[in-house]
Each structure stands twice: as structure tokens, then as C-alpha cells.
């Protein structure tokens, strides 16, 4: 039960932070949802860092990993919003922004996870 509570609290905190970042940033670029993009990339760095530190065993406990990776990052990142926004772009015929957003989200997201894992390797 304690672990479920940690995931619940982490998810709530991540969701609120996502809202506070996405709300002001999404309208800045026409049809590019900058806030969602940044939240997803930052979330990838964080989850890479957390899981990298978790593997080392001495930095993060299992409960800390649940709170941060499953809870916080699960609430903070926004795949459902990501999918809806891609649907919106296709529906409105904005295939160029769809392609740019889709490819950059995936490529930069993977690179962000690698960055988080790389940072975790050098923290001791």
C-alpha cells in the first residue's frame, strides 16, 4: 500500500508541474505544442537519470524509484496529450508540423533518455 501511495503522490506532483509548464508554453508556437514537447523531453531525461541511478542501487531505493519514475514521470509526461495533438495536426491537414513534431519528439526523447543515463553513470 505504501508503494501505491508513493506512485499516487508522485503522479499528482508530476501532473501539476506538467500543467504549469504546458499551459503557458503550448500557445507560443502555432500548432507545435511547445509545452508538451518540452515536458516529454525533460521527462525522458529525468526517467533516464532516475533509472540509471536506480541500477547503481546505492543512490535510489526501490520506493524512491517508484515515486520518481513510475509516479512523477508517469504524471509529468504526456503521451496521451502527445497522441491527441498528432491527431489534431493530421485532422487539420498540417502534415509538415505533424512530421516535425513526431520525428523530433521521438529522436530527441530517445537522446534525452541517453543523456539521463549518461549523467547517472558519472554521479558517484
Is residue 65 annotated as involved in ligand binding? no
Using CA atoms, how far residue 7 sits from 11, 18, 23, 63, 78, in Å, is: 6, 16, 24, 9, 16
Is residue 77 annotated as involved in ligand binding? yes
CA nearest to 35, candidates 44, 23, 17 = 23
Instruction: Please give the backbone phi and psi of residue 78, each rounded to the nearest 5 degrees, phi first.
Output: -140, 60
Q: Provide the angle, in degrees to the nearest 10, between the axes of the packed helices 95-122 and 34-56.
A: 30
Cell of 102: 513526431
Residues tagged in the binding site annotation: 74, 77
Residues tagged in the binding site annotation for Na(+): 74, 77
Amino acid at each position: 500500500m505504501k508503494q501505491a501511495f508513493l506512485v499516487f503522490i508522485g503522479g499528482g506532483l508530476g501532473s501539476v508541474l506538467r500543467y504549469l509548464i504546458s499551459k503557458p508554453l503550448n500557445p507560443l508556437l502555432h500548432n507545435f505544442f511547445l509545452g508538451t514537447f518540452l515536458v516529454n523531453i525533460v521527462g525522458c531525461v529525468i526517467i533516464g537519470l532516475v533509472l540509471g541511478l536506480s541500477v547503481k542501487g546505492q543512490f535510489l531505493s526501490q520506493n524512491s524509484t517508484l515515486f520518481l519514475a513510475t509516479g512523477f514521470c508517469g504524471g509529468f509526461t504526456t503521451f496521451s496529450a502527445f497522441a491527441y495533438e498528432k491527431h489534431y495536426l493530421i485532422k487539420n491537414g498540417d502534415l509538415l508540423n505533424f512530421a516535425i513534431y513526431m520525428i523530433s519528439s521521438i529522436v530527441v526523447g530517445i537522446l534525452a533518455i541517453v543523456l539521463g543515463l549518461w549523467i547517472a553513470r558519472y554521479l558517484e
